[in-house]
């Protein structure tokens, strides 16, 4: 168990290193306001904290830097999220003022805003598209033999498909098709559309119009729907601005990781709510051994969930990121609840 003095010194070292990316020395700590210990006493405590594994000594300075164990202790026991600023609140809330934005647009803009506010890379995992349920169908004629079929889901997601219209179909016939689709298929998850179309709607369309001709099979081809939540990035290259990532090999490994959907999805906790912080080796990826990942979830209606992640160096400003991420996740959940 650390003493109060060690706790105070550890917090000062981590806060200073987060702010400056420079090793912290005993004389620097002794000059802090409210610090009543001598530089010699602080130096001894720093040596003890190093021996306990909370600090590390660099080769280029007499100062110390936090170890992964030190960051974990800081996050678990010393971290107090900042009060989110009025300006941050205004920036995030501006996203939710445009009621016309579709779910995908809101998520995409959220990723950019999070990256701008934190100066780190943001990743937002959208909910599984196939689990969305149909809310409305419409078909908009373009020419005599083509049209756009539009599917709107219960959370505002929109799917568009260009379809061919049989020459025998009149505008009133297309209207009948739309009515049949809305009567038979509203409330059906996207993953079941092809089956439901073939088992129910196709027969009714043929009964009323005398022909079906595979009119809508291309719309409901399940292989065209993404089976996993879409991934949206904000500030994908902002890690390049961090001194820890001036090593081109580290950057290359991290960029390659971000191109692999399945591996990026693995950084998100499964079926968990609240804020989660993983530091360095806890991410189980060599490319992220110098990174911390802070995640939060958001709701899209009662059943669907998405996730948000902020990726930064282990020297991340945890206090600021946690407060912003918490506010954004709550805002997204409220926004999507209003949309449904």
pTM: 0.75
Q: What is the dihedral of CA 82, 87, 88, 90, to 10 degrees?
A: 140
Please compute the mean of the pLDDT values over residues 154-172 and round it to a whole number.
77
| pLDDT on residue 118 | 96
The larger pLDDT score, comparing residue 192 to residue 39, is at 39
Domains along the sequence of the chain with CATH: 4-78 (1.10.10.10), 86-127+229-339 (3.30.450.40), 130-224 (3.30.390.60)
Please compute the mean of the pLDDT values over residues 184-191 and round it to a whole number.
83
Q: How far is the first Cα of the chain from the last one, in angstroms, to the nearest whole number?
A: 50
Please compute the mean of the pLDDT values over residues 228-256 and round it to a whole number.
85
What 279-287 contacts at long range (C-beta under 8 Å, 24+ apart), as own/partner pairs, is 279/68, 279/71, 279/72, 279/75, 279/314, 280/68, 280/71, 280/314, 281/68, 282/68, 282/72, 285/257, 286/253, 287/250, 287/253, 287/254, 287/256, 287/257
Does residue 1 have a pLDDT over 70? yes
Confidence grade of residue 219 (pLDDT, cut at 50, 70, 90): low
| pLDDT on residue 217 | 60
Does residue 181 have a pLDDT over 70? yes
- Express each pLDDT in 3-19 by its tens digit: 999 999 999 999 999 99
Exposed (0-12), middle (13-18) or buried (19+): which is 325, by Cβ within 10 Å? buried
Does residue 62 have a pLDDT over 80? no
258-to-112, 237, 249, 253, 297 alpha-carbon distances in Å: 16, 11, 14, 9, 20
Please compute the mean of the pLDDT values over residues 219-227 and round it to a whole number.
51
Residues 6+ apart with CB under 8 A from 102: 156, 157, 158
Q: Which residue has the tokens 């110098």?
A: 290
Confidence grade of residue 226 (pLDDT, cut at 50, 70, 90): very low
DSSP letter assigned to residue 333: H
Does residue 199 have a pLDDT over 60? yes
Confidence grade of residue 222 (pLDDT, cut at 50, 70, 90): very low
Beta strands in 74-190 (DSSP E): 121-125, 134-143, 146-153, 158-164
- Express each pLDDT in 267-312 by its tens digit: 888 777 889 999 999 998 999 999 999 999 998 766 668 899 999 9
Q: What is the dihedral of CA 265, 267, 272, 276, to 10 degrees?
A: -150
Lowest mean pLDDT of 46-50, 103-107, 293-297, name the range: 103-107
Confidence grade of residue 60 (pLDDT, cut at 50, 70, 90): low
The larger pLDDT score, comparing residue 107 to residue 212, is at 107
Per the CB < 8 A criterion, the answer to whether 84 and 327 are in contact is: yes
| pLDDT on residue 8 | 95
């Amino acid at each position: 168990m650390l003493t109060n003095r060690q706790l105070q010194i550890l917090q000062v070292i981590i806060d200073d290193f987060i702010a400056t990316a420079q090793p912290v020395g005993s004389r620097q700590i002794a000059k802090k306001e409210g610090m009543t210990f001598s530089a010699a006493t602080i130096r001894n405590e720093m040596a003890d904290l190093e021996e306990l594994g909370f600090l590390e000594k660099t080769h280029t300075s007499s100062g110390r830097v936090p170890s992964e164990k030190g960051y974990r202790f800081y996050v678990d026991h010393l971290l107090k999220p900042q009060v989110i600023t009025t300006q941050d609140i205004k920036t995030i809330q501006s996203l939710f003022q445009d009621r016309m934005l579709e779910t995908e647009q809101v998520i995409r803009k959220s990723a950019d805003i999070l990256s701008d506010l934190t100066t780190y890379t943001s990743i937002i995992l959208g909910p599984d598209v196939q689990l969305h349920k149909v809310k409305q169908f419409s078909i908009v004629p373009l020419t005599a033999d083509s049209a756009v079929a539009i599917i709107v889901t219960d959370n505002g997601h929109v799917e568009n498909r260009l379809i061919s219209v049989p020459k025998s179909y009149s505008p009133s016939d297309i209207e009948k098709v739309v009515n049949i689709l809305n009567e038979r298929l509203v409330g059906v998850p996207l993953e079941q559309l092809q089956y439901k179309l073939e088992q129910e709607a196709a027969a009714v369309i043929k009964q009323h119009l005398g022909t079906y001709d595979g009119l809508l099979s291309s719309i409901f081809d399940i292989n065209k729907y993404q089976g996993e939540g879409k991934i949206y990035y904000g500030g994908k290259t902002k890690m390049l601005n961090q001194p820890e990532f001036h090593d081109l090999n580290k950057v290359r490994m991290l960029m390659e990781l971000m191109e692999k959907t399945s591996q990026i999805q693995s950084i998100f906790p499964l079926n968990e709510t609240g804020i989660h912080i993983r530091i360095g080796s806890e991410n189980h990826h060599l490319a992220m051994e110098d990174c911390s990942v802070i995640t939060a979830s958001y709701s899209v209606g009662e059943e669907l969930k998405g996730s948000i992640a902020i990726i930064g160096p282990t020297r991340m400003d945890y206090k600021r990121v946690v407060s912003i991420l918490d506010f954004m996740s709550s805002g997204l959940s409220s926004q999507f609840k209003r949309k449904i």
